[in-house]
Structure 1
Amino acid sequence: MWSAHSLTQLALLPTAAFAAYSLREVGARNTLDWRIWLESNGKPVSFWHDVPLFPDEENHRVVNMVVEIPRWTDAKIELKRSEPLNPIFHDDKKKMPRFVESVWPHKSYPFLYGSLPQTWESPNFNHDFTNEPGDNDPMDVFDIGGDPGYVGQVKQVKILGGLALNDGGETDWKVLSIDVHDPLSAFVNSFEDIEKYRPGLLKAYYDWFTYYKVARGDGVLPIVGDAYQDVAFMQGTIEESHGFWHELVRGEVDSNEINYNQTSIKGLDSYISKRGTTAAFDIPRKSYILPPLPKPEQYDQWYYLDKDFNLIQLE
């Protein structure tokens, strides 16, 4: 039985350690061996399972965001689902590091991109709004503020809306947000407010999500409902996803090869004391950063699409 005490402990314990968050980085960027672990008071914890979703349990409009991809960068970086404590790594395709092409007029990722901790898009059933299973990841979030961000950053963002992508038959939510400390944050409380201060931004980002994979040979991604969903809808969707995550760390559902070890909630099979995580999971004891490897030249060029979002190629 899930007790109120456990829920409070889960929500508040990591928040108190915010000031003590640090990063342990090992290896060279742009390689498959590179990793970043999150530390709380110097001990490795999970970006996904130990950072609270809500920095303030009295205000569910503001959520924590784990930054995976800084603005204007193109390395496809995310949390490693299958490894203990879910470190950040460089995703691969055909055993090579993945990058995102720059599709005109956007330079790689045009916003700050990451995930919502303690959420899970469950693949175990079809979701109501999309009628597709989840993609087995935490919910994705993008921040439209001016902060360029850095990999592994934990920041607080305000929910403004969201998009539901159908990515290859999987539900893939993209939560629209803004850094609570951004000057624009005080003037926008919904996606409808954005057009007044950032004309064209919503359409540009909507289009980007539909066609950003075309340059690599994939098709246009459909957006369920053909529109941004509002704040109330997204808050409900995030709460639901948070509930799916609770089931995951309690071991009540098929984990789909996810490592859900966490250091925040005692009494669960997924629990491990953070004092022992370095030794238990054979994590390098300190940072050891090597120079990054160069990325392939093809990701330094622009790609262009016609009015129907087809890739234009010179014959």
Structure 2
Amino acid sequence: MSKFGKIETGKKYTESYKVFITEGNKIISPFHNINLYSESAKDVVRVVNEIPRFENAKFEINKSENLNCIMQDTKKGKMRFVGNVYPFKGYLWNYGALPQTWEDKDEVCSFTNCKGDNDPLDVVEIGTRRKSIGEVYEAKVLGCLALIDDGECDWKIIVIDTKDEKASVLNDIQDVENVFPGLIKDTFTWFRVYKIPDGKPENVFGLNSEIQNKEFALKIIQGAHASWKKLIDQKHVKEINYSEPIEIGEIEAYQGEDDIPTKVYEYYFMNQ
């Protein structure tokens, strides 16, 4: 795999914070310029990590920014953090995206009868190491689930880093329960309730709230990759930035971290 790097600029937990992905002496787009599929195996894909495990800040590839840098999402003018629904702390796993995939906002998914969420496919990485923002790695596909978020189809692809110490014993979704008992159940719970602290209702799932295996997940990935190819060919979605890689030049320095609001650390109890 090519050697990818990253450049952090601005102050973390503020709107100035940006993470650019690099390859060689160029800044590239994590959305468009990283090959989705690995050359090593048909069930191995490349992943861009956006949110480290246990992090509360909602970092994501910004579709409209130049070179699709990773930034923290905002909501009503404020930096967005997910709440801690007891007993969870922040994100339950490393959370990221598959490059060169896109969930078509105009196409109705045949499995969920919902249109796509206009984003790259989301990734849940269940390995043993906490990853950093902007880390690019290769992962084995294990399965997926179909989240319906605000009426949109939002697939979650479950993977494990190929270099993880548990990767050799995880080859399909049925292996996860043996290695990490309860994790699949807690994953469904987390996605169902994580927006409740923000005053939103519980999320729901397609496919009878059932986890899907590797073969199914690979088909979802294949379809989203085809949608991305159409997106690149037509460039018909105005809010998406399609800029080409550029040479690394002078970039604003990283300025450390801003203070996180104390409320972010509080637990939300479901019966309150």
Task: Letter of the 2:90 partner, please give it.
Answer: S
- Which residue of 1 is the match for residue 213 of structure 2? 230
Which residue identity lines up with residue 68 of structure 2 in the other structure?
Answer: N
Q: How does 1:115-126 map to 2 (within 5 A)?
A: 115-126=97-108
1:258 to 240, 249, 252: 240
Deviation at 1:126, TM superposition (A): 1.0
User: 2:189 pairs with 203, 207, 210, which one?
Assistant: 207
Tell me the SS of whatever aligns to 1:130: coil
Q: Within 5 A, what are the aligned runs for 1:6-17?
A: 15=1
Q: Is residue 2:253 matched to residue 1:285? A: no
**Letter of the structure 2 residue corresponding to residue 86 of structure 1:** N
1:26-45 → structure 2 map (5 Å cutoff): 26-45=9-28
Taking only the aligned residue pairs, the percentage that are identical comes to: 35
Find 1:55's aligned residue among 33, 38, 43.
Answer: 38
Which range moves more in the overlay, 211-220 or 113-122? 211-220
Partner of residue 302 from structure 1, selected from 258, 267, 270: 267
1:149 is matched by which residue type in structure 2? K
2:175 pairs, out of 174, 177, 193, with 193
Bigger relative contact order, structure 1 or 2, given CA contacts below 8 A and separation 6+? Answer: 2
**CA deviation string 1:26-80 (max 9, x = no partner):** 1000001211111111211101101110121x62201111000001111100011
Report deviation, 1:256.
4.2
- TM normalised by structure 1 equals 0.83
The Cα of 1:291 is off from its aligned counterpart by 2.2
Q: Greater strand percent: which structure? A: 2
Q: Contact 1:112–1:149 (CA<8 Å) still a contact in 2?
A: yes
Q: Which residue identity does 2:6 align to in structure 1?
A: L
1:100-137 C-alpha deviation (Å, 9 max, x unpaired) = 11111111101000000000001012111111111000
TM alignment of 1:41-190, pairs within 5 A:
41-56=24-39, 59-190=41-172
Q: Which runs of 5+ in 2 are unaligned?
A: none
Tell me if structure 2 keeps the 8 A contact 1:24–1:287: no
Report the count of equivalent residues: 271
**Does the residue aligned with 1:247 lie in a helix, a strand or coil?**
helix
CA distances 1:247-271 after superposition (whole Å, capped 9, x unpaired): 11112x63141112344xxxxxxxx
Task: Please report the TM-score for the alignment, with normalisation by the length of structure 2.
Answer: 0.96
RMSD of aligned Cα (Å): 1.4
Q: Give the gaps of 5 or more residues in structure 1.
A: 1-14, 264-273, 279-283, 306-311
| One-letter amino acid of the structure 1 residue matched with residue 140 of structure 2 | K
Q: How far apart in 2 are the matches of 1:142 and 1:181?
A: 16
Query: Matches of 2:244 and 2:41 in 1, distance apart?
Result: 24
